Structure 1
């Protein structure tokens, strides 16, 4: 393989993040095959395969020539399907994509995990982190099918790393959005109702930074399996972080100072391993 992959398969290519990933790869001169359940007809890629990422024959059709995979295909919330559809669909797609990629000789995979793997975001009751800022050692408390699917996806990637000798990076994304749309709406919501962001630790990331993290995950010199939190350095909340934590997570141990609107998420591992830091910050 070249210093970085020249041909990449992107699953979930027609999604909001998938589109931004495709735009970034096009600017980098990377040849892309997209895989999605539908083809909108306007994606910047070389080839599009329409089908379900959970079907081995579909994935095999999409893989020829790929040197790396960015796996984004998933049902992105537990309210978008039955528990069985969400959990079984997400975990099947991840298993199939990584298993077929391994057999095809792919040795680099980035996959979209989520801060929901902590268990807090979609729980039916208020849950609190053991400590803040949270990091990759945080004990998980999953109670919902989506968070569980992401926890299993991370474990699947770890197994595939051993099984096929591939490097896998699971990126725990927070609330995602773009300039002037979802992030601004979220910021207003969390300003009006600060408690509504507590389960997500008021964290966010611009689609453009999420796309760059995915690219770094398949192009930086790494081996083995890694789970990494990625987030912007500040929160989308209007209040200081320490004040929010006092109000909504008072029992969480504080392992570091969080001045101003510092995000209570430790992204140090992503910085060390990927050289990642967010470049698009909501003031």
Structure 2
């Protein structure tokens, strides 16, 4: 019998985390949930841990179950999905956001290194691409991974620096792989009822070029990133195939971003944050289009 791969998910009770846990479990993975307060699946092995404390982080990443711990000769987990963070700008003070997000990310990366866990998927963010775009000097669309990173908020800065941190860890450990997923604005199914209002006022979504990602597709991308074999740090923009708008993407760009160059041909409502790299390398394929959930 093939042994199930063990995956630890931090931030397992969050908007994305709880869906990732269900997705991984449904695909045959043995999941261990870590959060400050995990109540989603009472029967699932889980731990309450403060990831800004290195000792607690090391404990969590070396734990297999309630009473079983990893031994020196055995890794507790095959991969880590690190989602835990303060998820929005200005939800907490800037200093608290920076301290929490940076220290927790460092602790997870460092604990994984010490424990020999070399497969990490980390939730980066579209915010480091220059959001809000109406205030930054984007030169062309679709925006791709090689655009210069620009953190316009403390939250975004933690994502910029988190990617730099990931790169350094991988440079010092040639066996380590860290997939940094630049998730677009994550939506749940009930959020789609507000989407028609964006067509009445496209300026409501200027800030991220009318992009979004369904939380279920975000979970798919995370699973695909776990399963894809490569070494080193790599970044991937994760979006839906289409925008939140009914109006064609080319028309939106010409009307609201007249000085931005359009590279190639835009089809209908094509996303302006390119997910081509994630499709090509990870095999990511969005399944949930908002239009299928709005009557």
TM-score calculated relative to the size of structure 2 = 0.88
> Whose radius of gyration is greater, 1 or 2?
2
Q: Which of 142, 165, 172 is 1:163 aligned to?
A: 172
Within 5 Å, which residues of 2 pair with 1:131-280? 131-164=140-173, 165-179=175-189, 181-185=190-194, 187-280=195-288
| 2:72 aligned residue | none
Larger mean Cα displacement after TM superposition, 28-37 or 224-233 = 28-37
Shift of 1:263: 0.8
- Per the alignment, do residues 44 and 209 of structure 1 end up closer, same or farther by CA in structure 2, a change over 3 Å counting? farther
| 1:27 aligned residue | 26
- Is residue 130–residue 138 contact of structure 2 (8 Å, CA) maintained in 1? no
Shift of 1:51: 2.2
**SS of equivalent to 2:34:** strand
**SS of equivalent to 1:251:** coil
**SS of equivalent to 1:171:** strand
TM-score calculated relative to the size of structure 1 = 0.92
Cα distance in 1, alignment partners of residues 146 and 91 from structure 2: 29
**SS of equivalent to 1:35:** strand
Cα distance in 2, alignment partners of residues 115 and 11 from structure 1: 20
Shift of 1:188: 3.2
CA shift digits 1:50-82 (9 cap, x unpaired):
122221111112112111000000111112011
Cα distance in 2, alignment partners of residues 66 and 26 from structure 1: 15
Shift of 1:112: 0.5
Q: Which runs of 5+ in 1 are unaligned?
A: none
Cα distance in 2, alignment partners of residues 21 and 233 from structure 1: 20
Q: Which of 81, 90, 103 is 1:92 aligned to?
A: 103
- Per the alignment, do residues 241 and 128 of structure 1 end up closer, same or farther by CA in structure 2, a change over 3 Å counting? farther
Q: Which of 45, 57, 61 is 1:63 aligned to?
A: 61
| 2:129 aligned residue | 118
**SS of equivalent to 1:199:** helix
Question: What is the root-mean-square deviation of aligned Cα atoms in Å?
Answer: 1.8
- Per the alignment, do residues 63 and 45 of structure 1 end up closer, same or farther by CA in structure 2, a change over 3 Å counting? farther
Cα distance in 2, alignment partners of residues 246 and 5 from structure 1: 50
Cα distance in 2, alignment partners of residues 221 and 153 from structure 1: 21
Cα distance in 2, alignment partners of residues 70 and 189 from structure 1: 34
